[in-house]
Structure 1
Amino acid sequence: MSMTMPPLKLFLPFLFFALLASSASCDDEDSSSFSFPSFTSLSLQNLTLLGDAYLRDGLVGLTRDVSVPSSSSGSVVYPSPLLFFDPDSNTTASFSTRFTFSVTSPNPNSFGDGLTFFLSPDNETLGSPGGFLGLVNSSQLTKNRFIAIEFDTRQDPHFGDPGGDHVGLDINSLESIQTADPALQGIDLKNGDSVTAWIDYKNDLRKLLVFLSYTNKKPDEPLLSVNIDLSPYLKEFVYLGFSASTEGSTELHWIESWSFETFGFLPMRPKSHPHNVSDSSVIVRPPISVPESGSEHRKRLGLGLGIAGPAFFCAGLLAFGYITIRKWRKIQTVKSFKAEIMTGPREFSYRELKFASKGFHSSRILGHGAFGTVYKAYFAHSGSEAAVKRSKHSHEGKTEFMAELSIIACLRHKNLVQLQGWCVEKGELLLVYDFMPNGSLDKVLYNESQDALNWNYRQNIAIGLASVLTYLHQECEQQVIHRDIKTSNVLLDGNFNPRLGDFGLARLMDHDKSPVSTLTAGTMGYLAPEYLQYGKATEKTDVFSYGIVILEVACGRRPIERDQGNQKMVNLVDWVWGLHSEGNIIEAADRRLNGEFNVEEMRKLLLVGLSCANPDSAMRPSMRRVLQMLVNEAAPPTVPRSKPSLSFSNSLPLALEDIVSESDNEKEEDEEEGNLKAPCSVLCQIRVD
């Protein structure tokens, strides 16, 4: 008997350790559901309040309760993350949540901006006050990651809101993927009545549904139904909560109750082993009593322990290995998810892009650029369209490709052409963008075969471009200088909203740092005089290019045109400034509009264009100031009657004759694309000492 004890004594600690580890693994599984019928002081043990959020009378208030208008932001977060993805079965959970909320204001004329229900990998999600719904920071719109259902109570044109009250699905951006009007089901989001919302996501159907009702009965039909796969955004553990914000209002946001559950997959457990005597599924029958001697009893016991010992040891090793591998896989999944967040756009295969563009067939060409050709691609499996930019096989093409990919992949704004992905394969450099159905601004603006852009579209284009340039110049972590703003690089979506594209010449700069001299790049006709002289691109050189584009939009004329009467080259800036000096600037308005525009708004747009195209860079406004003027938050600019002249003491980088000759060659190439580039000598009219 004593001879069989040492193996058992050696194995018992290991068995205890294995069982303890297995038990800990099971205990780590988070609860898949919770419920708050109301909110009490005890609820604070299971909730995290951020910003201006507070608890009062069984309700959670998300924004300040004040009698005077203010800007406020608050969030409430369930502090324990829930498991949404099982790497062992490669399954994403479905989920369902129900909550009751109300939006009201002590001042019936002071409302804005709304609240959201969100899912986020961050448990400290708190955005800026104002029109940001408490989800994102005003200076870093792309920092926070989330899936959110917004219950918006104010129309914000910066995020493409369709109207006042609306419900929308947002993913990592406040520009909703899809929206719905609650008034269609008789719901007023801000009348102060309690509204119950149900949000269901069914992973097997790849569908998200939102229901609203004034009662506790769930409607038969959803208000919002979105066909979408959320699995790329639900990687393992995710935090849940609500956020809200106000922008100079007294709007109050209350959460009255909340329940949540996940379903659709069961976390895998370690499999039982047939030789594990602790397995409760083993049936032990009483043995038949047979007399036996003491020596035979000891032999049988020793044999049994000799067999059971290694079996226990193997079972323990298997359990320990299973736990270790599972934890390693979770770590790898988290790393993979972080890498996916960092890279953003996905990598396409060359075969996929070649098939979608019919082998880059000439019939799919959308346009040509300095560094490559753009093709239309159709992906049959998803029914979606995209634009594929195929860079030239050259050193410049590679440089442009890397610049565009590294810069635009980190940017997100509703007036930017969104990058979907990229491909570096078979010696090809390919960038995949959202497809813009209405093409480039220059082709629409100068297409004689179709009706002219109406005034509302033109105003929207001017404001949209000002908004995105404000974002690039002042709201990104690093300032982005585009360097090639022109009508052919402004694309129009299905609703003629402007999208700025082609970041191949763009440069990143630290804020408040002096620019360095570079080789002059861009398109003649849009380049600022000081950029041509010193080769230093700044935000003011972008402002100059914007001014030229705005004058084109208002006048319907190119930067440089040949006069039909005397065949002389006419400078657009000089022509508009001449009319301004005569007090007849409104005569510059595009005649194809037939006078169907607001005269004062047109006058303001022309003055803003001249102010931006001022030869003196110090006199040009910032893009933020331009945006404020266009949306009537600042007075129109004061533009001198006579166009200022400049005098440079240094010689130009190139002789004017060389620039004119070079521009003439570029002009011949660009006329095929409908993009006439202006000679520098005609555009700038600068005096060289």
Structure 2
Amino acid sequence: MSLHRLLFNPFLFMIILTTTLTLNSLLIVESSSNKKPASGPEINVTKYLSFPNFSTSQDITLLGSAAISTENNCIQIPENNLQYSAGRAIYSSPIRLFDPKTQTAASFTTTFSFQIQNPENDAGPISGGLSFVIVPDELTVGRPGPWLGMMNDACEDEYKVVAVEFDTRMNPEFGDLNDNHVGINLGSIVSTKSINVSDFGVYLNDGKVHRAWIIYDGLMKLFEIYIGPDGILPARAVYSGNLDLSPYLNEYMFVGFSGSTGNNHTEVHTVCSWNFTSVSRASLRVPSTETCESKIIVANGGNNIHVVPSKTPTSFYIFVAVVVLVFIIMINLYLNRKRKDENYSDETASFTKEKHRPAPPNYRARKFNFSEISSATRAFGELQVLGSDTRSVTYKGTLVNGCNVAVKRFYSKFFSSRGSERRRLIKEVKLVGKIRHPNIVPIRGWSFDRQETIVVYNFAPNGSLDKWLLGFGVLPWTRRFKVVKDVAEALSYLHSKELAHKNVKASSVFLDISFRALVGDFGFVLSSMESTRFESLVSQKVDVFEFGVLVLEVVSGRARRSGPGEMDLLDLAWAMHVGGEKGKLVDRRMGPVVNPDQANRALEVGLMCTLNDNKGRPTMEEVVEYLNFEKPVPELPRTRPVSLFPYSSTTGLCSGYSCSFK
């Protein structure tokens, strides 16, 4: 029955209208009878921290190069590696700093004593900086160098942070005033306010102990900073002005300190005492006024108790009214169906046709014009370059719809003059472009115009894994283990589709904004001497071997390629296993928060993947089961395999036809 016939049936319309008004009245009565205040009086939520000194037993989370010195009981950033390092010391529990109901930032006051010095020359030039930070998590370490361990360029747009930096190096690209300034950073490494503290007789790099007072009034939005000798509050603030912190705060945030040093510069930042107090507004929830006493009557002097029968609940009337309404509508529909005419049949057919209209096609990779790619990458400008290798250059691009992409542009010299390799790459790109998996970087499209060979990927905001293992800071164990499992899931899926990645390494694994691992940068084309049949036989086995080496990199925080005079990572891992000391391979920078069972399982799986294929190397499907603890890992040999997979410590890749015999 059509909708207009239903509504313009006078008898049925009156019934629906009457029933609707009745239901509405009943709901209003019941709502008013059960109405409870959503919130009660406002109160102040106060948090107070006091650290006259620091020890390892306190609730301080240390990340990266941060440590607590046992000599002076101070937080020290960095601990050992004085060049190009970053660290954080964060109070372990979150603090309420924003009221979502009133959209008001909390008021807080913090004071701490700090010292910045050069361990090699007390009066010499130094470089780096220390920051008081308010951050959304206790796991992330920012980049070293000018980023002060506060942020990194990969996630700056999404990462909420409030910081006060004490910077001893001038970085013009960040708008720094000089090499002796204090900055207020709101969601960006570029300071919203910057103050030359030389005007106040303060020299951050003089090696003396300074004390900072940071005061913020959330209601007045007044921000003040004082710096002076330890124990003496200066009469004049180095900064006093109105700032609204609320857009940069979550309801709960973490507070603490971060610091970094740059290349060829040494600097040590110490924080020896710290007090912090915050006050935020919150509303108490008022409990219900209904009590057990209101439901019982005490009779006969209180000796006998009986429950007073309650009235028929309003919900029962609502139920009866709905049933009656549905029954009447069904009868009316049945009677009208008998009287349907040709117009009604045509209307029904039209409605059915519209209802089953084909859905729009799912998102698929598409062809881009060269002009689109050129515009997105600013004509392949140098500032857009993300990285390069012997075959290609990768650029960051922004499409006309605002989406960020990674554009991989292959060198024309990479392909043979006959063009067969280019045709094969185009075929493989289109094939992989159909793949969709949560742990595989989607191919958004391609461009093969003007003899250009370009592949367009989705952009991963947090960059590649190798930068985090060897550059940005220290990934905590929970994220590392998840990366290993994510990559295993992606490779297992590819192998189940009879495909292979052919380029498994840390620089081909990317991290999205939530640090989920995405496998990308496929090795589309092997060298011309390798046949398709050979590739199909060995590529998946190569993936498994390379995944094993990747796992060792993630657990140890080391590069697979050794430096001069150092043992190669794979050789080192097997030597430690044979000596019963593979636990020493775990990256010590992660601190004591590593899960030993997970770390041991990851190392065993990594070593197993590097076994000869006929001596126990697993499939990726089995690797996923091992990492999920769904089945035990077979015992590894106690002696190093005589012939490992032909892994080159120089290239890190399988070499020659010998792969097929493993």
TM range (shorter): 0.3 to 0.5
Normalising to structure 2: TM-score of the pair? 0.42
**Structure possessing the higher relative contact order (Cα contacts under 8 Å, 6 or more residues apart):** 2
